[in-house]
């Protein structure tokens, strides 16, 4: 349409992303809004299970999550890699070691995400596949709270590498070099299979696929 040609797209964009994707999606929205100031954005951030519930109820235009559900009729675009890494405080005795064994990891107090988290699901299937049992001492339903708990010396965890996007690996946290890690996850962009995307959602999907890799590289 003429409005499209003039870059005057208008309307609402409803996005829902997992708590790992919140570390770069908001950053991507900046240049998008600059390009399309007429588009109003609603961003929901929650865990994988709640996102799948929202998808089943068709509450949002686009979803970003890992490990897409098999039981729903969905359209699916593979998006960026989302490696899961072992995170410890900077002064942890294992921080300087190379090739730490899984058995040694299992001896550390471990902080696990809540049930319904895709991160937890991936950690549990990794452990089952590799015959590791973790020493789960705490369960916390937030990546940020887990980071604070790690800094507080309560244990180590396995989280998306993107949770370190702002402070990097020279801040208070370190990535441990543990055998078998990182766990190679990836995000997908999803929407209900039967749904015809709005022009606005289609525009954002194309923008994500074009610009996502470059912006994620800076994270
Ligand atoms: P979650 O995120 O642990 O918040 O569910 C996992 C994912 O990115 O799919």
Q: Looking at residue 213, what is its pLDDT?
A: 86
pLDDT, tens only, 149-175: 999 999 999 999 999 999 988 899 999
Q: Looking at residue 172, what is its pLDDT?
A: 97
- The CA distance from 147 to 29, in Å, is 25
pLDDT, tens only, 179-216: 999 999 999 999 999 899 999 999 999 999 998 888 77
Question: Binning pLDDT at 50, 70 and 90, where does residue 88 land?
Answer: very high
- Compute the residue count for the chain: 219
Q: Looking at residue 204, what is its pLDDT?
A: 96
Distance 32 CA to ligand 1 centre (A): 24
User: What would the mean pLDDT of 117-125 be, rounded to a whole number?
Assistant: 98
Closest ligand 1 atom to Cα of 19: 4
User: Which tokens belong to 15?
Assistant: 């996005």
DSSP character for 114? P
Closest ligand 1 atom to Cα of 21: 8
Q: Count of CB atoms within 10 A of residue 187's CB?
A: 29
Distance 127 CA to ligand 1 centre (A): 17
Quote the distance between the C-alpha of residue 24 and its chain's center: 9
Question: Binning pLDDT at 50, 70 and 90, where does residue 9 land?
Answer: confident
ipTM, 2 decimals? 0.98
- Smallest CA-to-CA distance from 18 within 154, 156, 190 is with 190
User: What would the mean pLDDT of 119-132 be, rounded to a whole number?
Assistant: 97
47 lines ligand 1 (CB under 6 A): yes
pLDDT at 15 over 80: yes
Q: Looking at residue 218, what is its pLDDT?
A: 66
Read off the pTM: 0.94
118 lines ligand 1 (CB under 6 A): yes
18 lines ligand 1 (CB under 6 A): yes
203 lines ligand 1 (CB under 6 A): no
Closest ligand 1 atom to Cα of 17: 8
Question: Binning pLDDT at 50, 70 and 90, where does residue 111 land?
Answer: very high
With the most atoms of ligand 1 within 8 angstroms of its CB, the residue from 15, 18, 182 to mutate is 18
Distance 5 CA to ligand 1 centre (A): 36
119 lines ligand 1 (CB under 6 A): yes
Q: Looking at residue 5, what is its pLDDT?
A: 55
Question: Binning pLDDT at 50, 70 and 90, where does residue 125 land?
Answer: very high
């Amino acid at each position: 349409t003429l409005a499209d040609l003039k870059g005057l797209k208008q309307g609402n964009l409803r996005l829902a992303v997992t708590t790992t994707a919140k570390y770069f999606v908001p950053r991507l929205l900046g240049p998008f809004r600059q390009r399309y100031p007429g588009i109003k954005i609603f961003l929901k951030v929650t865990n994988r299970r709640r996102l799948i519930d929202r998808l089943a109820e068709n509450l949002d235009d686009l979803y970003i999550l890992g490990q897409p559900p098999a039981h729903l009729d969905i359209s699916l675009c593979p998006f960026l890699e989302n490696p899961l890494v072992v995170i410890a405080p900077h002064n942890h005795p294992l921080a300087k070691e190379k090739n730490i064994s899984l058995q040694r990891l299992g001896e550390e107090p471990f902080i696990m995400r809540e049930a319904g988290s895709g991160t937890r699901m991936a950690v549990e299937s990794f452990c089952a596949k590799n015959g590791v049992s973790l020493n789960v001492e705490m369960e916390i339903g937030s990546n940020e709270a887990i980071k604070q708990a790690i800094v507080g010396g309560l244990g180590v965890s396995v989280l998306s590498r993107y949770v370190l996007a702002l402070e990097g690996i020279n801040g208070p946290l370190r990535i441990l070099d543990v055998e078998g890690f990182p766990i190679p996850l990836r995000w997908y962009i999803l929407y209900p299979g039967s749904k015809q995307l709005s022009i606005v959602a289609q525009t954002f999907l194309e923008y994500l696929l074009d610009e996502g890799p470059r912006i994620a590289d800076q994270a």
